[in-house]
Structure 1
Amino acid sequence: MSALEKILHVEDDADIREIAKIALEMIGEFDVHQCASGHDAIAIAEEYAPDLILLDVMMPVIGGEETLRELRKIPALDGVPAVFMTAKAHQKEKQALLEQGAVAVIVKPFDPTTLADDIRAIWSAL
């Protein structure tokens, strides 16, 4: 598998977006494009061509699961690994997200100092 460089991060909470941006760009040295909504992500995802998609589950209008289903309809993004981020940490909920096509689930609140390493570990396990 190629190197992980570009991450599309979809999160409606501005504070979480900022923390994740610092964690992924400054600490992890990834190229990160952030979107505040599923609709924004769907609009730019193909052009951005991410190596990995990092999605919040609970967002207004179009949630993470629906966003992922829409992104999977774009042929160029069909095989791009997706990771959900959620505050719902129960095993049953995590399993349901994996069944939706995610390769992993990161539980919020996440540790900004280890987020990039967590993402790298997920990528290495693919």
Structure 2
Amino acid sequence: MSSPSPSANLPKTILVVEDEASLRLVIQITLERLGGWSVLTAASGRDGVSQAQQVHPDAILLDVMMPDMDGLEVLQQLRSQPQTSRIPVILLTAKIMPISREEQTQLGVSGIIAKPFDPLQLSQQVAKFLHW
């Protein structure tokens, strides 16, 4: 009888790429405490791409509107590299920038969460989009 792999008992890891520090902290605390996941954070798109390449998280929560490299550029870079191309991505976007289901499919994202969001519902939304 084989024993489960050591990673089977580890929490899933989510990388949060969000330039706004206070929002990044709220998301991190919410996903750790209510979702039970391990959360890494990146304050910029470039840092997010770099961390995704190094860590290979189970999923990425990605802000669309960032100053240095916006979320769609980050997504394009992630999808163009074999080591990050299959990581599920959920976009965080302001309601003023709606993305249709068709665009969501074209982008290859697992879901879209509108800002502002309810922190108490965030981990449930993430779990639903990722089928966790």
TM-score category, normalised to shorter length:
0.7 to 0.9
Structure of larger gyration radius: 2
Deviation by residue 1:73-92 (Cα, 9 ceiling, x = unmatched)? 2212111111101113665x
Q: Which runs of 5+ in 1 are unaligned?
A: none
CA distance in 2, matches of 1:89, 1:83: 17
User: After the TM superposition, which residues 5-84 of structure 1 pair with which residues of structure 2 at under 5 Å, given as runs?
Assistant: 5-84=12-91
Q: CA deviation at 1:49?
A: 1.0
TM-score between both structures, scaled by the size of structure 1: 0.87
Q: Which runs of 5+ in 2 are unaligned?
A: 1-7
Q: 2:81 matched to 1:112? A: no
Deviation by residue 1:7-28 (Cα, 9 ceiling, x = unmatched)? 1110000111011011101121
Query: What do you get for the CA RMSD once the two structures are aligned?
Result: 2.0
The structure-2 alpha-carbon separation of the partners of 1:7 and 1:34, relative to structure 1 and needing over 3 Å to count, comes to: same
CA distance in 2, matches of 1:97, 1:109: 19
Aligned length in residues = 123
CA distance in 1, matches of 2:19, 2:29: 16
Which residue does the alignment assign to 2:130?
123
Contact 2:11/2:36 (8 A) holds in 1:
no
Q: CA deviation at 1:61?
A: 1.5
Q: What secondary structure is seen at the aligned counterpart in 2 of 1:106?
A: strand
Q: CA deviation at 1:44?
A: 1.6
TM-score between both structures, scaled by the size of structure 2: 0.84
